[in-house]
Structure 1
Amino acid sequence: MLLHVIARGKIGRSPEAELVERYLKRISWTTKLTELGERATLPVTAAGSMTVLLDEKGRVLSSSELAKLLEQWRDRGTREVRFVIGAADGHSHEERQSADMLLSFGAATWPHLLVRAMLAEQLFRATSILANHPYHREG
């Protein structure tokens, strides 16, 4: 299953970009990072894909809960999960309505560059949990 991070805005060369790249490379599953212009529309969703918007009004999941969700999607044959990070103004009403899920990293407001790094780390952690890798220490 492809884990596809789609983010509005350019990250450029920065410590955050290096952190995102480092975590995405560590994931044993296929990953992809796509950057869009601030006003660009999302690419058309292919059949068998899930779209998860990072949104302040979304569900807050533990790392283990995210791992279980990825496992369920993988096991039912989902080909791609698209994690979409919005621009400074977030997502449009239409994007929220068409998403399969809204996911939040809590009530705090996070800079978009850090959200990319946080998402990449959580995807690495979730896939590590599924592989029984000792990276994740719960409790």
Structure 2
Amino acid sequence: MEVSILAVGRLKSGPERELCDRYLDRARVSGRRLGFRGLNVVELAESRAGRASDRIAGEAEALVAALPKIGRIVVLDAQGELLESEAFAAMLSSAAAAATDRITFIIGGPDGLAGDVLSLAASRISFGRVTWPHQIVRILLAEQVYRAMTILSGHPYHRA
């Protein structure tokens, strides 16, 4: 199975990037043991348009163009479903068992996501009802992907 993260915005070098990379590296190692083929991140530039609606539309175009042709699409959305870590792991496991065996997570920019991007998603998930900067959402997602790998492999990292 392949896991992709499409994110609007770039993580600059510093503690946020280091933490995100640490979780992604751990997830790659744990995932290989489970048969996961890849975990990649595609960073898309934030739109510089003056109006929020124009920024959202421009970012939507870039996101849709970067989406793989097959696989399950999951959008990170403040109004999405709140999942426990075990349910998140089950979602990855289910995607791995599917014929397309690919899952793509989408993280929008500061202005959010366009309706046409939201409509492409098989699922919308949330890491809480509070508003998170998209950089922190990426760290949270990387950690949950790693945690899911440890849950699926029976590793003691996850203690619930």
> 1:70 Cα deviation (Å)?
1.0
Q: Which ranges of 4 or more aligned residues in structure 1 deviate by more than 6 Å?
A: none
Write out per-residue CA displacement over residues 100-136 of structure 1, whole angstroms, 9 at most, x where no aligned residue.
Answer: 1111011011111111110000000011100000000
1:122 is aligned to 2:144: yes
Does the residue aligned with 2:119 lie in a helix, a strand or coil?
helix
- TM-score of the two chains, using structure 1 as the length reference: 0.93
CA contact (8 A) 2:10 2:45 kept: yes
Does the residue aligned with 1:81 lie in a helix, a strand or coil?
strand
Which residue of 2 is the match for residue 46 of structure 1? 69
Query: Which stretches in structure 2 are left out of the alignment for 5+ residues?
Result: 32-37, 47-57
> 1:14 Cα deviation (Å)?
1.8
Which residue of 2 is the match for residue 4 of structure 1? 4
Q: Which residue type is aligned with residue 3 of structure 1? A: V
Which residue of 1 is the match for residue 16 of structure 2? 16
Which residue of 2 is the match for residue 95 of structure 1? 117
Provide the identity percentage.
39
1:70 is aligned to 2:92: yes
> 1:79 Cα deviation (Å)?
2.6
Q: Which residue type is aligned with residue 45 of structure 2? A: G
| Counterparts of 1:78 and 1:124, CA distance in 2 | 21
> 1:77 Cα deviation (Å)?
3.1
| Counterparts of 1:74 and 1:9, CA distance in 2 | 27
| Counterparts of 1:76 and 1:94, CA distance in 2 | 24
Write out per-residue CA displacement over residues 84-103 of structure 1, whole angstroms, 9 at most, x where no aligned residue.
Answer: 11001110011011111111
Number of residue equivalences: 137
CA contact (8 A) 2:95 2:102 kept: no
More displaced 10-residue stretch of structure 1: 115-124 or 31-40: 31-40
Query: Which stretches in structure 1 are left out of the alignment for 5+ residues?
Result: none
> 1:45 Cα deviation (Å)?
2.8
1:31 is aligned to 2:53: no
| Counterparts of 1:78 and 1:22, CA distance in 2 | 27
More displaced 10-residue stretch of structure 1: 74-83 or 6-15: 74-83
> 1:3 Cα deviation (Å)?
1.2
| Counterparts of 1:33 and 1:23, CA distance in 2 | 12
**Structure label with greater radius of gyration:** 2
More displaced 10-residue stretch of structure 1: 52-61 or 72-81: 72-81
